[in-house]
Structure 1
Amino acid sequence: MRTLKQLIPALTVSDGAGVKIKRSIGQKAKLHIDPFLMLDCFGSAQADDYIAGFPAHPHRGFETVTYMLDGHMLHEDHLGNKGHLKSGGVQWMTAGRGIIHSEMPQQESGLMRGFQLWLNLPAAEKMKEAAYVDITPEQIPVARPTPAIWVKVIAGTFHYQQQSWAGPIQGLSTEPLYLDIGLAAGSRLQIAIPEGHAAVLYPYEGAVRLEAEPQSDIPEHHAAELSHTGELVISAQQNLRVLLLAAKPINEPVVQYGPFVMNTVEEIQQAIQDYQQDKLTAGKSLASIKVHTLVGE
């Protein structure tokens, strides 16, 4: 069975134009779990915590995955894409050689809650053309292996006994598996993950129990890095919801400067220069939206 390697408690930080988030993976320099660079959980019913949103900003060298549990955000980018991310939907964006985008709340009150994951790209793909896809809730299959368990399959394929459910995101080089799992109290679920893949559990409603030797309880809002071999077995002492993220490690150097993630310092310097000279996106930019000052980490 997969065992616990480390726990990363989420810390409350501010990002964008002042949005309050809980950050686990990526909260410190080099606190990555290859190929996962960052995992943010945002959630508040107080508009002041999210209303300023994420004005236009650049990215290069990785993918961002935004999963909206509750609320409504509008995405715009230099490619001309405009997508409404609503409850249950996902935005999968490949920054590649460069993208400038904004994510702004479309509500003035109420609950806004969700996740953003940064997924690294291998060196051979870091400079490919940027791409973007909106995934509606209706496009995400929901497996119900037992009456006490449901599994939303966002990326990869979930197998249970003789059945399989394939998510809308397939065929990426890191082979990501992205599951949102609901367990009723007293239920237990066994999940096959490809050997060698990195795996992370993130319970966001209640705590999850990792059935292994030794047995481990993973508290709410903690990212749990798991060992790279064996099957995953989890159980619930109370009703809970938990994310499972798994992917093939890239095993390449990671150099990050704020929203740029490359393999060398020289490539980062080139990214900054391209951004300053309006070459990051081949001269295209978001009209009428001021780009925030670039901040390094």
Structure 2
Amino acid sequence: MSSTRLLQPHRHRIGAGFQADGWREPLALLDPFIMVDHFRMSEPAFAPHPHAGFSAVTYLFDDSATGMISRDSLGGEYAIEPGGLHWVLAGRGVMHDEFPAEPGREAHGLQIFVNLPADQKLRAPTVMRLRAEQMPRRVGEGWRAVQVFGADTTLDLPWSTSLVLVDIDVGASFDLTLPEGEQGFAIVIHGSGHTDEFPLAIGRALSLAVGSGARIVAAQAMRLACFCGRPLLEPVVRHGPFVMSDEGQVVAALQRFQSGGMGRLSPR
């Protein structure tokens, strides 16, 4: 059986102001990621809502027409600029809200849910941030790469995960390799190309098993969002915005939310 395969997106829309290609399954191939949405948002789509048991991560592409505002029940209100990263480590629970900084203009980015190890699911929530100029960059023959998060950044990550954004020129190639013991997937953000096995186009994601890799050749100028991480290989129980290790933790998270133990966040 091949160590690479294509993952198809789930396309969803909320009103006229939010649309996304999303990847949520198979969870075993995404581990330690829970979900990734490649989104475009031009108006608020979500009311303030809780998170618990994972990290909610937002990255805005440098072509985003506007930034986003991120609010949380820890008292923070932050501007996410195009090219910037905002990491909300929810832990035992936090209320959260995000929306475009300029109504009517389109924010373009990635919403990423990263699972927390079982022994960190009840840790205190916190927020981490990186500006575009703080992200390490590499240049190769016909390609350029930005490490959005990962081992080479200054973020104190709770688990070994990374996101590298790669731009490949027409006719050039990029060798996608994984760190030892990690699996990953690469989402085509724009452009088209191929590997030895598969054609690649916008909205397709190439999954790579532990120990595998692929050479990607660009037929058109391509941008890839390349995710990798060490699989947690732990039980996951999901209930709406809660990602816990067992049903008892889910019930406890619901009780914390309902009693105000995740804080309060008033509507805009």
TM-score by length of 2: 0.90
Give the partner amino acid of 1:34.
D
For 2:248, the aligned partner's letter is: E
Q: How does 1:1-297 map to 2 (within 5 A)?
A: 3-5=3-5, 7-14=6-13, 19-26=17-24, 33-43=30-40, 50-69=42-61, 70=64, 71-146=66-141, 148-157=142-151, 166-169=152-155, 172-211=157-196, 215-279=197-261, 281=262, 284-286=263-265, 288-289=266-267
- RMSD (Å) for aligned C-alpha atoms: 2.2
Structure 1 stretches lacking a partner, 5+ long: 44-48, 158-165, 291-297
Asked if the contact 1:83/1:134 (under 8 Å) is kept, the reply is no
* Matched residue SS, 1:55: coil
1:238, distance to aligned residue in structure 2 (A): 1.4
**CA drift at 1:224:** 2.2
Give unpaired runs (5+ residues) of structure 2. none
Shift of 1:140: 1.4
Contact 1:75–1:103 (Cα < 8 Å) also in 2? yes
Given the superposition, is the C-alpha separation of residues 92 and 208 from structure 1 closer, same or farther in structure 2, using an over 3 Å criterion? farther
**Matched length:** 264
The amino acid across from 1:56 in the alignment is P
CA distances 1:40-90 after superposition (whole Å, capped 9, x unpaired): 0112xxxxx631233311000001111111121111111111110111111
Contact 2:187 2:224 in 1 (8 A): yes
User: Deviation of residue 206 (structure 1)?
Assistant: 1.6
8 Å Cα contact 1:11-1:24 kept in structure 2:
yes
User: Which piece of structure 1 moves more, 51-60 or 86-95?
Assistant: 51-60
| One-letter code aligned to 1:278 | G
Measured against aligned partners, the alpha-carbon deviations of 1:161-209 in whole angstroms (never above 9, x if no partner) come to xxxxx2333x534311210110001111224422221211100102242
Percent identical pairs in the alignment equals 26
Letter paired with 1:186: G
C-alpha distance in structure 2 between counterparts of 1:140 and 1:92, whole Å: 14
Does the 8 Å contact 2:44/2:98 carry over to 1? Answer: no
Offset of 1:18 from its aligned partner? 7.1
Distance, in Å, in 1 between the alignment partners of 2:95 and 2:259 is 14
- TM-score normalised per structure 1: 0.82
Give the Cα separation in 2 of the matches to 1:153 and 1:29.
25
User: CA–CA distance in 2 between the matches of 1:75 and 1:267?
Assistant: 26
Cα pair 2:95 2:264 within 8 Å, conserved: yes
What amino acid maps onto 2:200 in structure 1? I
- Label 1:51 to 1:98 Cα distance change in 2 as closer, same or farther (>3 A): same
